Amino acid sequence: MATIDFLTQKISQAKRKKAKLFCVFLTLGYPSLPATERLIFSAERSGVDILELGFPFSDPLADGPTIQFSSEKALQKNVNIHDGFRLVSKLRAKGCKMPVVFFGYFNPVCSYGAKDFARDAKKAGFGGLIIPDLPPEEEQAFQKECRKRKLRRIELVAPTTSDKRAKMLVQRSQGFVYYVSLRGVTGARKALPSDLKAHLAKLRRMTKKPVLAGFGISTPKQAADISRMADGVIVGSAVIEHLKRGIPAAERFIKKMSQAVHGV
């Protein structure tokens, strides 16, 4: 089952049905590894389309205070890449078919060994990778290993990205394009940027790949509004904030956000 390309299947299915994609970010090992496992199965039951599994790292480039907090807590328990691979293998063995995308930084990947990482990530059941500090022009050997293993490299485009570079990024991005909807790091926001609609429209004209918007989306209304502008929505920090109140609070929030994105 680990070799099935669930990510490509899910994206093709959404395109056929003209459905929006809902992606949830969880930090591996926060508040514990069993909690992460429970939340993933619960998210799948709630209609979440894609899981973005964040691997804790001590020096996160793009993460705001909320995700930094969850990473620190996981690192205190010595959560590492091996734990993530074991968990996803276990999920697949238990019948989880939700696509899982690795979100992390290149330093731990490099320490693990780029070739070994690509092999073991695919074997575990990952479908794609988001590595914010690895530009597509760098580490060609690793890029080659990802292509060989059919691990989709998902690129991020920001509001400050030039049109020329944005075109290159959407061309290279595989699976979907991750649009960073605000300037700065991750974190829930009360209001979203006024130029978000125009940026998303421009980006969607550049590619037929789904464009998912993330960073700052924290309420069902925001999720519903953005799902009308984009092909999907990614929610992370707001999930972690609810998770601080307990697993049931996070599960209820994920279900509400899923319903908002899918127009239920």
pLDDT tens for residues 42-69?
A: 999 999 999 999 999 887 676 778 889 9
Active site residue 52: yes
Average the pLDDT over 232-255 and give the result.
97
More confident residue, 114 or 183: 114
Measured CA to CA, the distance from residue 204 to residue 113 in angstroms comes to 35
Paired tokens of 40: 């993933």
Residue of 49, 63, 145, 241 with catalytic role: 63
Measured CA to CA, the distance from residue 198 to residue 204 in angstroms comes to 10
CA-based nearest residue to 23, from 51, 63, 55, 54: 51
Return the H-helix or E-strand segment holding 27: strand 21-27
pLDDT of residue 185 exceeding 50, the answer is no
Active site residue 139: no
Percent share of the chain, pLDDT over 90: 84
Measured CA to CA, the distance from residue 88 to residue 90 in angstroms comes to 5
Amino acid at 65: P
pLDDT tens digits for range 190-233: 667 778 999 999 999 999 999 999 988 999 999 999 999 999 99
pLDDT value of residue 187 = 45
Task: Give the confidence band of 82 by pLDDT, cuts at 50, 70, 90.
Answer: very high
Average the pLDDT over 117-129 and give the result.
97
Tell me which residue has tokens 């004209």: 205
166 alpha-carbon distance from chain centroid: 19
Q: How far apart are the first and last CA of the chain?
A: 30
Residue of 49, 52, 145, 231 with catalytic role: 52
Measured CA to CA, the distance from residue 196 to residue 123 in angstroms comes to 37
Domains, the chain, with CATH or none: 6-261 (3.20.20.70)
- What is the side-by-side order of every strand in the sheet holding 177-180? 152-153, 128-130, 100-103, 50-54, 21-27, 232-235, 211-214, 177-180, 156-157
Q: What is the pTM of this model?
A: 0.94
Measured CA to CA, the distance from residue 1 to residue 231 in angstroms comes to 27
Lowest-pLDDT range of 61-70, 104-113, 160-169, 189-198? 189-198
- Bridging pattern class, strands 232-235 and 21-27: parallel
Measured CA to CA, the distance from residue 51 to residue 40 in angstroms comes to 8
- HEC profile of 182-245: CCCCCCCCCCCCCCHHHHHHHHHHHCCCCEEEECCCCCHHHHHHHHHHCCEEEECHHHHHHHCC
Return the H-helix or E-strand segment holding 155: none
